Amino acid sequence: MTRSWRLLLALAGTALLVAMVWVIGPDVIANGVREAGWWLLPILALHAVVYALNALAWWVALPPTADRPSLGAAFRISVIGFAMNFVTPIVNAGGEPYRIAALAPTLGTARATGVVLLYVLIHAVSSLLLWLTAIALALTTLPLDAATRSALGVALVLVLAALAVVLAGQRGGVVVRLARLLERLRLRRLSAWLAGRRDGLATVDAELV
């Protein structure tokens, strides 16, 4: 990412922050901070631990090569990415492009994309495991009627199926397979674009395995 782009994004981020403060109202924010009082410190500390563990999980999953980002860089990229996701309108999709752009200068675009997809997969697996644990605990510890128990049983099967799909995609070259599927749609421009980037797509898949 060039210096001009960084400056432009910094200005855009500053403008967005100012707009958010203006819309919410400085008085509302100040009152919220006063009401939280000293509890604000443990809340911030708890979030810092969560983000640190998140970044650590991502960093450990990366191949230990010379160009692997440091743990501090992974933490910084994670926090900024989450912040961008939280402020992205409608869909939380701002953080992933930022992560790719932040890693591309050292890893290259293809590897950076693969690393970020790995990051997304880690989140997906952790979320599915959380749901799996919650459903299992509900089924084994709570007094449930037949309808609720049946609904949770269906949810359990769906979560297990989703987990199997995510893990199979992580091990089976999901990016190249998806590209081949799209090529079969016979969309000329898309097919030509994908055909010219097969090596890059294979590099993306290599980061997921």
pLDDT at position 154: 93
pLDDT at position 194: 55
Give dist(CA 126, CA 123) in Å, integer: 5
pLDDT at position 116: 80
DSSP string of the chain, one letter each residue:
--HHHHHHHHHHHHHHHHHHHHHH-HHHHHHHHHHHGGGHHHHHHHHHHHHHHHHHHHHHHS---TTPPPHHHHHHHHHHHHHHHHHSSSS--SHHHHHHHHHHHHH-HHHHHHHHHHHHHHHHHHHHHHHHHHHHHHHHHS---HHHHHHHHHHHHHHHHHHHHHHHHHHTTHHHHHHHHHHTT--HHHHHHHHTTHHHHHHHHHHH-
pLDDT at position 209: 56
Q: What is the mean pLDDT of each run of 10 residues along the chain (209 residues)?
A: 70 79 85 85 90 85 77 87 73 72 78 78 84 91 89 92 77 60 59 56 56
Domain-wise residue ranges, the chain: 1-107, 118-209
